[in-house]
Structure 1
Amino acid sequence: MGLLITKLWSLFGSEEHKVILIGLDNAGKTTLLYQFLMNEVVHTSPTIGSNVEEVTWRNIHFLMWDIGGQESIRTAWQSYYANTEVVILVVDSTDRERLSTVKQEFYKLLQSQDLHKASLLVFANKQDIKGSMSSAEISKYLNLTSDKCLPWHIQGCCALTGEGHLHIIQEV
């Protein structure tokens, strides 16, 4: 984990960097976005289209695009890929029934030429819920170790408390 995060941050200067948050509906993307932005839980509703916020950390500016995950919106994900440096894939680690859909969408993402230089961060969200899949289980299911994958890291987290994802930022 440290190597990927260190590599990412070493590439970043003071200019703005594009990050997209994607995942199925109800995965916790918007909650994570506002935890990054304000370090607190914000009441959210399903994202129709996208939310965009600028997050600044240590003089690094990230333009973070939170893209809706409903089936009807997923077909438009690729229109957000241009100039993306980091993809954050948020997975609801309690939703075993839709993990195959996550995998299908993930493999579509890997085929995009717009993302061939991007790095991937997978958040296995909702780790606070009993019976959730571990990061290792999700990694194995998505086959993150394949040669076709972007530089990646997977991290268990809880969007509601900030556990896991805020830890990554504090490590750097």
Structure 2
Amino acid sequence: MGLIFAKLWSYFCNQEHKVIIVGLDNAGKTTILYQFLMNEVVHTSPTIGSNVEEIVVKNTHFLMWDIGGQESLRSSWNTYYSNTELVCSFRAQTAAGVTDVSRFIILVVDSTDRERLAISKEELYRMLAHEDLRKAAVLIFANKQDMKDCMSAAEISKYLTLSSIKDHPWHIQSCCALTGEGLCQGLEWMTSRAGLR
């Protein structure tokens, strides 16, 4: 009975899934966020702290936190993890006994930045090991696919050893933040994951 109530409640309630967008500096996180929001390129500068915007896809609300990726800021990423959850209705979840929450990470990788791919890998696995993200679904955007000599999504996937990730749903998507190519496919994957929760 509790699960039926939760499903009915979620149908009538605007579900809001909190998402953190992380990646090294200059990977294209903020450009992707504003492509989602306005479908256009916005002039950006390095993010100090975070940018927060709500994106709605097929009646699914994503509250996206774009977090600065400079080396000095990466140690503070974990302060955002505990709030990365489904926040539709605490009462509905409690009444139904539903404790599983929906969490999303978007990792943006600069496909031309071979030198720092090892740092991206290290940060990814540090996040996946964090208690607050143990059930997070992970979308990796292989950005800057329009650039000459960029790594393909398959190359990045192999380097990041994504196939070894067994306890987190994940998807890697080629994209170009400047044109928006590939971004919709990534959002569709997230929306399908949100519907499974």
Task: State the TM-score, normalizing by the size of structure 1.
Answer: 0.88
The equivalent residue for 2:163 is 145
Unaligned runs of 5+ residues in structure 1 are 1-10
1:14 is displaced (CA, Å) by 2.4
The correspondence for 2:131, drawn from 84, 107, 113, is 113
- More displaced stretch, 143-152 vs 154-163: 143-152
> Could you give the per-residue CA deviations for residues 80-100 of structure 1, whole angstroms, max 9, x where no partner exists?
111421100000000001111
Q: Cα distance, 1:156 vs. partner?
A: 0.5
Any gaps of 5 or more consecutive residues in structure 2? 1-9, 85-102, 193-197
What amino acid is aligned across from residue 126 of structure 1 in structure 2? K
User: Is contact 1:126–1:157 with CA below 8 Å preserved after alignment?
Assistant: yes
SS in 2 for 1:121: strand
Counterparts of 1:70 and 1:53 in 2: how far apart (Å)? 20
What residue number does 1:77 align with? 77
More helix by percentage: 2
Higher mean displacement: 139-148 or 155-164: 139-148
Give the letter aligned to residue 38 of structure 1.
M
Letter aligned with residue 168 of structure 2: L
Runs (4+) of structure 1 moved beyond 3 Å? 167-172
Match of 1:55 in 2: 55
Q: TM-score normalised to the size of structure 2? A: 0.77
Deviating more after overlay: 60-69 vs 144-153: 144-153
Structure 1 residue 110: Cα displacement: 1.4
* Identity %, equivalent residues: 67
1:166 to 181, 184, 190: 184
Matched with 1:17 is 17
Q: 2:152 aligns with which of 129, 134, 149?
A: 134
What letter is aligned with 1:100? A
Structure 2 CA distance for aligned equivalents of residues 118 and 17 of structure 1: 11
Say if 1:24 and 1:138 are closer, same or farther in 2 by CA, change over 3 A: same
Q: What is the Cα deviation at residue 149 of structure 1? A: 5.2
- Corresponding residue for residue 102 of structure 1: 120
Aligned residues, how many?
A: 162
Contact 2:51–2:65 under 8 Å retained in 1 = yes
Matched with 2:5 is none
Contact persistence 2:139–2:186 (CA under 8 A): no
Name the SS for the 1:81 alignment partner: helix
